[in-house]
Amino acid sequence: MKIIGHRGAAGLAPENTLAGIEAAIKAGVDAVEFDIRKTADNVLVLCHDKSLLRTHGVDIDITESTYDDIKLIISPAGNKVPTLEQALKLTGEVPVLIEGKGEGWASALAKFLIDRPNKELITVISFHHQELFIFGQKCPGIKLYACENYNAMDALNSARLFGFEGIDVNFWVMNPLVYWLCKRHALETTVYTLDWPWVAQIFHWLYPSLAITTNFPNKLQFLRKKQRRKPQ
């Protein structure tokens, strides 16, 4: 079972920041997940929302602003908005899940990643399955996961329709049938955002090959230790 840090490690440090990514790596994650949006001048930055109001206290729309404007903004906690380039430099050899937010990011992300080495460390995920498909056509060789919040079968069907490698769904909607069908069709399975160790323990028992995205990767390390323990 793999443990993935959500938005870096949002329970340990501010989400989608370099500090959050550092916290995730320090916690021993198998991979780091974060969100990207495209600025008006086609720079990819880490941000979940359309605006920086919630995270940085400034009501500025990412897609309508240039990076020169955004890079000057500092959150109350002292964090700037990182670029994708800065995030990948920090993760190094640690695998990443890049979630494309909104629309229109596919071409910019493909251009950024097309000649990048170690593409096997990168997975691109999105709720916008058509946009994800467009990205895959422009930048082959990177794993793609269909995200879904309400119906895991929709993610599975999209993955099969578009030829994606996996799904990433809300843990509340994961069920044994979907897990079995994913295994049957060789689709990788990931759930988000699971923060309770006792629930994670149940998922570990029900779905051994599942990957869990969590805000608190430090609290779920016991699952990996159990998996590594050799029988006497």
User: pLDDT tens digit string along 23-47?
Assistant: 999 999 999 999 999 999 999 999 9
The vertex-129 CA angle with 127 and 135, nearest 5°, equals: 110
Please check whether residue 26 is in contact with residue 216, taking contact to mean a CB–CB distance below 8 angstroms: no
Sorted by sequence, the CB contacts under 8 Å of residue 34 that are 6+ apart come out as 7, 8, 16, 20, 21, 46, 87, 96, 97, 98, 99
pLDDT attached to residue 224: 75
Confidence of residue 226 (pLDDT cuts 50, 70, 90): low
- pTM of the prediction? 0.95
For the chain, what percent of residues have pLDDT higher than 90? 94
pLDDT in tens, 94-131: 999 999 998 899 999 999 999 999 999 999 999 999 99
- pLDDT at position 149 is 97
Phi-psi region of 167 (alpha: psi -120 to 50; beta: other; left: phi over 0): beta
Cβ neighbors of 232 (< 8 A, separation 6 or more) are none
Q: Show the tokens assigned to 124.
A: 């691109």
Lowest-confidence segment of 2-6, 31-35, 211-215, 226-230 by average pLDDT: 226-230
Amino acid sitting at position 99 = E
184 pLDDT above the threshold of 90: yes
Taking the mean position of all CA atoms in its chain, how far away is CA 9? 11
Question: What average pLDDT does the chain have?
Answer: 95
Assign 89 a pLDDT band (cuts: 50, 70, 90).
Answer: very high
Query: Tokens 């919040």 label which residue?
Result: 149
Residues 18 and 88: their CA atoms lie apart, in Å, by 10
Residue 160 burial (CB count, 10 A): 15
Return the DSSP state at 12: T
| pLDDT, average across residues 220-226 | 80
- On whether the CB atoms of residues 9 and 70 are closer than 8 A, the answer is no
pLDDT tens for 137-149 read 999 999 999 999 9
